[in-house]
Amino acid sequence: MCGSGGVGKTTLSAALALRLAEEGRRVLVLTIDPARRLADALGTGDLDNEPRRVPTERGELRALMLDSKATFDDLVRRHSPSPEVCERILTNHYYRFVSERLPGVHEYMAMERLLSLALNDEADVIVLDTPPTRHALDFLAAPDRMAGLMDESVMRWLVLPATASGWRMLEMGSDVLAGVLKRLLGPTTIADIAEFFSGFQTLWGGFRERSIAVRALLRSPTTQFVLVTAPAPGARAEAIAFLEVLQRDGMPFSGFFINRCAPPAPPDLAWPKPPEHRSTGEWERVRSEVAATLDRRRALTAAQDRAVEDLLAHAPSGSQAWRIPDQPTDVHDLPSLRRLGVALDTSGAIAALRRNG
Ligand SMILES: Nc1ncnc2c1ncn2[C@@H]1O[C@H](COP(=O)(O)OP(=O)(O)OP(=O)(O)O)[C@@H](O)[C@H]1O
Ligand SMILES: [Mg+2]
């Protein structure tokens, strides 16, 4: 589930997951940034990287929230050749920088977490929420970038000179370099970096293999991408730009959730005669106010129709757009998520997603 900031990705991911679970599937929702009240509703309030059961009326729903540092630590623990190497990596200053602050690491760990759930969890469906568009693009590119970084030739270049003592000499020879490093990486020294790479080289192959597996998973026919957008032109333009990236990368696209749509305008009323206690003039004023409101509603519906046509004109043939109504209240608890799930069903989205996957 992708889209620009604030359009409703997290909310719709949760509503879709809840609906699918209460229809009888085993569902897992991996969310990136639920608003506090939504996290509480889902039971992910304490920001856990492990799936937690959500108290549904029927079926099985579990939710987890990505903790990229915990995911990285876990990978190091699982794949280190020995407890000593593992300890050396986990306590290394440069590793701390890499696992917490290296640009793109969050997106990459989301992919690692997704892969491990896809391979090891017994869920029938995994719903993945994503960060806003700009970051989501990073997140699509992350496995490719990581595969490039994990390329052995790059690795060899990094480790090569690098008996730790070689790097240390470099460090001693350059106060300037050490100063720059300190500013960029906090307490990290060149020796830390050398040590990190020498410990980490045993894990490299595994990272590379998994990044290739993630790329295959994202493009597999069991994966479906849904773009969340709004009828407003700005959100639409971002959705179209995002769609181009999906298509260029060969990702399987199912359709758009056009969120927060106004309900369709009611049909014309046969205007009754004025009641006895109202003057004709007064009654005419009420009638024209109601007519103006209806006109505004119709104009809104027509603009939404044009927005849908515009989106579909940019999408591959066979793509669909589902209109999700704006809810009267904020969506932050299970009953309101359930109502939104019903709206997703009524829009035809759930049947279509089921047919595709
Ligand atoms: N159909 C809807 N009707 C009413 N309110 C909605 C609807 N969809 C989402 N919202 C509200 O919009 C707000 C933003 O939603 P949400 O956090 O899901 O967006 P997001 O796309 O995940 O944002 P971000 O890009 O910051 O991750 C929330 O307060 C949510 O309750
Ligand atoms: Mg969100």
Q: What is the mean pLDDT of the chain?
A: 83
Weakest-pLDDT range from 134-138, 171-175, 201-205, 207-211: 171-175
Q: Is any ligand 1 atom within 6 A of the Cβ of residue 235?
A: no
Burial of 14 (0-12, 13-18, 19+ CB in 10 A): buried
Domain spans, the chain: 1-65+224-357
Q: What percentage of the chain has pLDDT greater than the value 90?
A: 38
* CA atoms of 1 and 227, how far apart (whole Å): 6
Residue 132: predicted pLDDT: 65
Residue 45: predicted pLDDT: 67
Whole-number Å distance, alpha carbon 6 to ligand 2 midpoint, is: 7
Q: Is any ligand 1 atom within 6 A of the Cβ of residue 132?
A: yes
The string of pLDDT tens digits covering residues 22-44 is: 999 999 999 877 677 778 778 76
Q: Is any ligand 1 atom within 6 A of the Cβ of residue 229?
A: no
In sequence order, what are the residues at sequence separation of 6 or more whose Cβ sits closer than 8 angstroms to the Cβ of residue 230?
Answer: 7, 8, 236, 258, 259, 260
Weakest-pLDDT range from 6-10, 99-103, 327-331: 99-103
Q: Is any ligand 1 atom within 6 A of the Cβ of residue 252?
A: no
Whole-number Å distance, alpha carbon 258 to ligand 1 midpoint, is: 12
Q: Which CATH number does 1-65+224-357 carry?
A: 3.40.50.300
Q: How confident is the model at residue 182 (pLDDT cuts 50, 70, 90)?
A: low
pLDDT at 15 over 70: yes
Q: Is any ligand 1 atom within 6 A of the Cβ of residue 264?
A: no
Ligand 1 atom nearest 7 alpha carbon: 21
CA angle, 249 as apex, 348 and 100 as ends, to 5°? 95
Q: How confident is the model at residue 178 (pLDDT cuts 50, 70, 90)?
A: low
Whole-number Å distance, alpha carbon 29 to ligand 2 midpoint, is: 12
Q: Is any ligand 1 atom within 6 A of the Cβ of residue 34?
A: no
Q: Is any ligand 1 atom within 6 A of the Cβ of residue 5?
A: yes
* CA atoms of 58 and 178, how far apart (whole Å): 59
Strands annotated E in the chain = 2-3, 26-31, 52-54, 60-65, 125-128, 225-229, 253-261, 320-325
Residue 161: predicted pLDDT: 46
Closest protein CA for atom 4 of ligand 1: 327
Closest protein CA for atom 16 of ligand 1: 8
More confident: 274 or 292: 292
Residue 173: predicted pLDDT: 47
Residue 136: predicted pLDDT: 55
Whole-number Å distance, alpha carbon 32 to ligand 2 midpoint, is: 6
Closest protein CA for atom 23 of ligand 1: 6
The string of pLDDT tens digits covering residues 97-123 is: 888 887 778 888 888 999 999 999 999
pLDDT at 167 over 60: no
More confident: 208 or 303: 303
Of 7, 11, 258, which is best to mutate to test ligand 1, by the most ligand atoms within 8 angstroms of its C-beta? 11
Nearest ligand atom owner, CA of 133: 1
- Two structure tokens written together for 138: 């990073």
Q: How confident is the model at residue 169 (pLDDT cuts 50, 70, 90)?
A: very low
Question: Which residue bears the tokens 């940019």?
Answer: 314
Q: What percentage of the chain has pLDDT greater than the value 70?
A: 82
Q: Is any ligand 1 atom within 6 A of the Cβ of residue 326?
A: yes
* CA atoms of 153 and 161, how far apart (whole Å): 13
More confident: 319 or 265: 319
Nearest ligand atom owner, CA of 6: 1
Q: How confident is the model at residue 185 (pLDDT cuts 50, 70, 90)?
A: low
The string of pLDDT tens digits covering residues 256-273 is: 999 999 887 777 777 777
